[in-house]
Chains A and B, each alone.
Chain A
Amino acid sequence: MADAPAQLFPEFLVDTFGLPGVLGEVVAALIAAFVVGNIVLAFTGVAGPWAKRKITAAFTDRIAVSRVGPFGLLIIPASAVQLLAKELIVPEGVDRPTWDLAPIILPASALLGFAVIPMGQIGPVNLHLADPEVGFALVFAFASIASVSLVMAGYGSNNKYSMLGGLRAVAQNLAYEIPLIVTAMSVVIFAGTLEMSGIVAAQSETLVSIGGFDIPAWYALVNPFAFVLFLAANMAEIGRNPFDIPEAPTEIVAGYQTEYSSSYFVLFYLGEFVHIFLGGAILAVTFLGGPAGPGPESISFLWFVVKVWGFFLFTQWCRSALPRVRIDQLIEIGWKGMLVLSFANLVLTAVIVGVIA
């Protein structure tokens, strides 16, 4: 693991194909971004119409999507065509530009977060678009643009359920954004850098050796308390159970997306899945060693996929197993519980690192 960090994806393209100058960089960046975007879309394509149904069916002892193709996998193109070919119903009194822009902003902002995520290597290709010095702060900034989209959808729809969903999305963000970021900061204390590659590299050091087998210093092992705190805050950030109150199907129909149909609805659905995967990717980079895993570095993308899908499975498990918290409980848990715990964690980590180092 002591090798020089692998080249970023756009640089690799520039060097391999000899693309000249700034224009070459832009072309390489666009190609790389297109590949990364499509990988994420492929994740959501498998997750949305197929894996989510299969997982929920397994949890509730049913059989789901088994007719079309092997394991029902061909339901993915079938669903895509079906959903895109639905009629778009524009309800009365919607606030037009707001209502139309909201479904673009959600998937776009969630995808943007993947720009700084190190997704591991396939062969010589390092699937990492950009590694700016502020990458770690940037990814949280991108991930929280999503709630703007939810508020726009809630306000623009002219529907009372949507309005409530939008307002709940704000309340949720207010309650969990700070514990999330403060807990993430305790990791930066260990790593001493905000670069994503630096945080991953710091976790590749050996924590302990048991019988010649090196256990890496993944921060989930170094600080399990922070890991659990971050996991809970992350579930709230991406709005999954037990914190799915902006949607709350049993209370406010479908929350902010009640009045959406056709491609607009698909985009919300897609954006949410991209957001789940972004949450998983952030969790993997922050606490699970990024794309690191046993085996050669050239297959590390597989480990990234395993970790991100593991997180997806966890969200679906929670969806089937946990009750939803009430909104007043959410504010109390966020401000009286997690905020205090996350600051305690930050101060304690700083003291412990100071004593050991």
Chain B
Amino acid sequence: MRGRSKPQHVTETYMSDWIAIGALAAVGLLIPVAMMVVSALLRPSVPETGKSTTYESGETPTGTTRIRFNIQYYMVALLFVVFDIETVLLFPWVTIYRPALEAGVPMIDLLWPMLAFVGILAIGLVWAWRTGAVKWTRSPRATRRKTEREVNQ
């Protein structure tokens, strides 16, 4: 079974795979939209001013939500992009690895390009680890507050 080519129906069904995926995408959109429509027909509408207030645990909302603040994992997000592209580039390698072995290519010839590739990124990860990029950064304010609390106790 392994490394087999597509069964006999390859040419005629190559397209129909994607037709089927498209069909499920259509059904997948249809179901939520249908539920929204049914609900719109069923539900009452009794608008009151209090109801549409933004929920803030029962308090009157203060200020807007869309402010600028430190999301703390900015560096991690940058690192993620690099590693995500790496996984995409590794997919072809893992797919051909075993078929190539069975075709008689020596293991070391197959392994070293992948090890070199992963190795470069591993060095990057070690660097990020050492410089604290994958650590949850504490804002100076939070640290200050915490120390104040500890001092007060």
Residues on B with C-beta less than 8 A from A339 are: 83, 125
Q: Contact at A178–B84, with CB atoms within 8 Å?
A: yes
Closest residue of chain B to A11, judged by CB? B13
Residue B32 is within 8 A (CB to CB) of chain A in the complex: yes
Q: A71-79, A129-137, A287-295: which lies at the B interface?
A: A129-137
Using known A-B contacts A30-B26, A116-B21, A159-B65, determine if residue A182 contacts B87 with beta carbons closer than 8 Å: yes
Q: Which of B29, B56, B95 contacts A193 (CB 8 A)?
A: B95
Contact of B29 among A104, A132, A192, A259 (CB under 8 A): A104
Query: Which stretch in A220-228, A234-242, A307-315, A347-355 binds the other chain?
Result: A347-355
Q: B139 within 8 Å of A by Cβ?
A: no
Q: Does A263 contact B (CB under 8 A)?
A: yes
Binds B, one of A58-66, A207-215, A328-336: A328-336
Interface footprint category on A: 35 or more
Which of B27, B94, B134 is A188 in contact with, Cβ under 8 Å? Answer: B94
Counting CB contacts under 8 A, is B97 at the interface? yes
In contact, B111 and A181 (Cβ under 8 angstroms): no
| Contact code string A263-299 (vs B, CB < 8 Å = 1, else 0) | 1101100100000000000000000000000000000
The 0/1 profile, CB within 8 Å of A marked 1, for residues 28-63 of chain B is 110111011011101111100001111111000000
> Which A residues touch B84, using CB under 8 A?
177-178
The docked-state distance in angstroms from the alpha carbon of A33 to that of B102 is 38
A18 at interface (Cβ–Cβ under 8 A)? no
Tell me the bound Cα distance from A134 to B125 in angstroms.
29
> Could you tell me the distance in whole angstroms from the C-beta of A161 to the nearest C-beta in chain B?
7
Instruction: Produce 1/0 per residue, A117-159, CB < 8 A to B.
Output: 0000000000001111100011000000000000000010111
Interface size on B, residues (CB 8 A): 77
Report the separation of the CA atoms of residues A129 and B94 in the bound assembly, to the nearest whole angstrom: 25
- Assess whether A91 is interfacial by the CB under 8 Å rule: yes
Identify A357's interface contact among B77, B87, B102, CB under 8 A. B102
Closest residue on chain A to residue B1 by CB atoms: A201
The reply to whether B52 and A112 form a contact with Cβ atoms under 8 Å apart is no
A174 to B71, CA, bound (A): 13
* Chain B residues near A90 (CB-CB < 8 A): 52
Per-residue CB proximity of A181-206 to B under 8 Å, as 1/0?
11001101111111100100110110
Known: A29-B16, A93-B54. A267 touches B97 (CB 8 A): no
Minimum CB–CB distance for B33 against chain A, Å? 7
Q: List 8 A-B contacts (CB under 8 A).
A: A10-B20, A85-B44, A92-B53, A170-B73, A192-B98, A336-B134, A339-B125, A347-B114
> 7 shortest A-B CB distances, which residue pairs?
A328-B136, A263-B39, A354-B107, A192-B98, A29-B23, A111-B28, A33-B23
Q: A104-B29, A201-B1 are in contact. List 16 more A-B contacts (CB 8 A).
A: A29-B22, A103-B32, A112-B25, A170-B73, A178-B84, A189-B97, A191-B2, A191-B98, A192-B97, A192-B98, A204-B1, A253-B57, A262-B43, A347-B118, A350-B111, A353-B98
List residues of A whose CB falls within 8 A of some B CB.
4-5, 7-11, 25-26, 29-30, 32-34, 36-37, 41, 81, 84-93, 103-104, 107-109, 111-112, 114-116, 129-133, 137-138, 155, 157-163, 167, 170-171, 174-175, 177-178, 181-182, 185-186, 188-195, 198, 201-202, 204-205, 253, 258-259, 262-264, 266-267, 270, 327-328, 331-332, 335-336, 339-340, 343, 346-347, 350-351, 353-355, 357
